[in-house]
Amino acid sequence: MMFDEVLPQLNYGIIFLAAAASFVVGALWYSPLILGKEWLKEMNMTEEDIKKKGAGEMNLIYLMAFVQTLLKALFLAILFRMLGVSNVYLGTYLGLFVCVGFTATSIGVNYLFEDKSMEVTWISVSHHMAAFMAMGAILGMWG
């Protein structure tokens, strides 16, 4: 199946839902409830540093982050369609597989050269693993 044959077959509402779920995972992951405090500490930042950016800058950051998350969900949906993924288990598994194989390794290399701590690396990588699994589950079930 070719790329141009896949696009009309995609369920764009489900792709949006998968992106939204990924975004919620990130919001929770970096909240004080889960790993937000540890992330701030490891990044040598405070909540005040974030507040200094102002609502306009943060809104732009959130918008750009969501657009990029939508692109991740779109490309994951394309891959799933090309591979014939059609259940939640396989979607979750392949979401994790794609994340570990591409995203986690890319983050790991970047953070090594950026001299980020192993804690920051683990927080970021584990967030992406959870987010890709959530997107994979949704796309596998309904994509």
- pTM, 2 dp: 0.94
The domain ranges of the chain are 3-142
For 36, other C-beta atoms within 10 Å of its C-beta total 16
At residue 113, the pLDDT reads: 98
What pLDDT, on the 0 to 100 scale, is given for residue 3?
73
pLDDT over 70, % of the chain = 99
> What is the pLDDT, as a whole number, of residue 80?
97
Segment 65-74 shows an average pLDDT of: 98
CB 98 within 8 A of CB 76: yes
Question: 137 and 95 in contact (C-beta within 8 Å)?
Answer: yes
